[in-house]
């Protein structure tokens, strides 16, 4: 039988297949072959002996949070508590896009914000590069309905800091999920962890992935990779005069030309340069 791993705990894999959940184990051959199973995997399993026989081919795999076969990532960011970090928005987007997964951004707790100029500007900047942005308010049912339409028929992963409202948003999509909601700690300056592991929640013909929050993310890439995968830059990357252009001081840089035309964001480029300074060159660059 074919099913999807929706959660794991202590070596037991919960599989969802044809509306039924099965708790199964993995055959020892997986450990021998150094093959790992993760949430989101589609697997062939024996529903009589409750063992997994085979992992089907993955379309993608993320290391953090650890999951596979994601159709859409909703980068979920709070505008208050925790304070909005535009840098983290672009960092998350870079991470998702370099795995060739579609990404959109959801801003939560918008009703608590007095001045919306910053998030409106970020929305405009992201729209220029084809990334949709959604604003969700606690009492605005239409904003929640927009997210419900967005997730239909897809495996959707909610990614963001602890306390931004990922679990709350999932509960808003379907209150029956009743996901435990964390609180924001002023003393710690961050949210309190409630979701401890990645879990896929079946929703109509979709799956919603609730994930542990994290406030920092190491991209584990080189400067040359960032120059290619930073949101919006992949479209123009091959049009720069120099094939290894880092979009800083190089002449005939297509990225800088598009910024001057207003087609790419100046603010985003400042974030790009900051992230670039945190990364190393590929070793081959020195050879």
48: burial class by Cβ within 10 Å (0-12, 13-18, 19+)? exposed
Query: Which residue from 160, 190, 169, 150 is spatially nearest to 109, judged by alpha carbons?
Result: 169
- Beta bridge mates, 13: 8, 24
Cβ proximity of 238 and 218 under 8 Å: no
Q: Give the model's pLDDT for residue 284.
A: 58
Structural domains in the chain, CATH included, are: 2-57 (2.40.50.140), 62-210 (3.40.50.300), 223-286 (1.10.40.50)
Number of neighbouring beta carbons within 10 Å of residue 203: 18
d(C-alpha 72, C-alpha 277), whole Å: 29
| Angle 157-159-161 from CA coordinates, rounded to 5° | 155
Closest CA to 17 of 42, 39, 48: 42
The pTM assigned to this predicted structure is 0.89
Q: What are the respective helix, strand and coil percentages of the chain, to the nearest 5?
A: 30, 25, 45
**Three-state SS for 96?**
helix
Beta bridge partners of 62: 67
pLDDT in tens, the chain (287 residues): 999 999 999 899 999 999 999 999 999 888 888 889 999 999 999 999 999 999 999 999 999 889 999 999 999 999 998 889 999 999 999 999 999 999 999 999 998 888 999 999 999 999 999 999 999 988 888 988 999 999 999 999 999 988 888 888 999 898 888 776 554 334 434 444 445 689 999 999 999 999 887 766 888 899 999 999 999 999 898 999 999 999 999 999 999 999 999 999 999 999 999 999 999 998 554 44
Q: What is the pLDDT of residue 34?
A: 86
DSSP tally for the chain: helices H, then strands E: 8, 15
Distance CA 281, CA 267 (A): 24
Per-residue pLDDT, 188: 37
Q: What is the pLDDT of residue 181?
A: 57
State how far the alpha carbon of 241 is from the alpha carbons of 99, 244, 263, in Å. Answer: 26, 9, 19
Structure tokens at 223: 């400067």
How many other β-carbons are positioned within 10 Å of the β-carbon of residue 265?
Answer: 23
Other beta carbons less than 10 A from residue 17's beta carbon? 16
Element holding 148 (H helix, E strand): helix 141-151
Residue 194 contacts by C-beta under 8 Å, 6 or more apart in sequence?
167, 179, 180, 181, 182
Q: Distance between CA 166 and CA 41 in Å, rounded?
A: 22
């Amino acid at each position: 039988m074919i099913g999807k791993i929706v959660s794991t705990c202590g070596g037991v894999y919960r599989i969802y297949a044809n509306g039924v959940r099965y708790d199964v184990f993995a055959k020892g051959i997986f450990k021998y072959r150094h093959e790992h199973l993760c949430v989101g995997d589609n697997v062939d399993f024996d529903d009589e002996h409750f063992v997994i026989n085979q992992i089907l081919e993955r379309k993608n795999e993320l290391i953090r949070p650890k999951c596979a076969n994601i159709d859409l990532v909703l980068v979920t960011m709070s505008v208050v508590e925790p304070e909005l970090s535009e840098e983290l928005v672009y960092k998350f987007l870079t991470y998702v896009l370099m795995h060739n997964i579609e990404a959109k951004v959801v801003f939560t707790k918008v009703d608590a914000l007095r001045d919306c100029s910053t998030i409106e500007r970020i929305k405009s900047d992201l729209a220029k590069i084809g990334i949709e942005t959604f604003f969700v308010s606690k009492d605005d049912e239409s904003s929640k309905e927009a997210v419900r339409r967005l997730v239909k028929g897809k495996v959707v992963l909610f990614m963001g800091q602890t306390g931004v409202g990922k679990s709350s948003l999932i509960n808003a999509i379907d209150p029956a999920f009743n996901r435990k909601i964390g609180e924001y700690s002023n003393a710690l300056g961050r949210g309190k962890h409630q979701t401890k592991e990645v879990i896929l929640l079946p929703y109509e013909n979709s799956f919603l992935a609730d994930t542990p929050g994290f406030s920092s993310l190491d991209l584990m890439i080189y400067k040359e990779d960032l120059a290619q995968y930073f949101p919006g830059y992949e479209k123009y990357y091959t049009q720069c005069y120099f094939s290894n252009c880092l979009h800083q001081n190089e002449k005939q840089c297509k990225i800088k030309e598009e910024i001057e035309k207003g087609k790419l964001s100046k603010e985003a480029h400042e974030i790009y340069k900051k992230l670039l300074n945190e990364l190393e060159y590929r070793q081959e660059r020195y050879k």
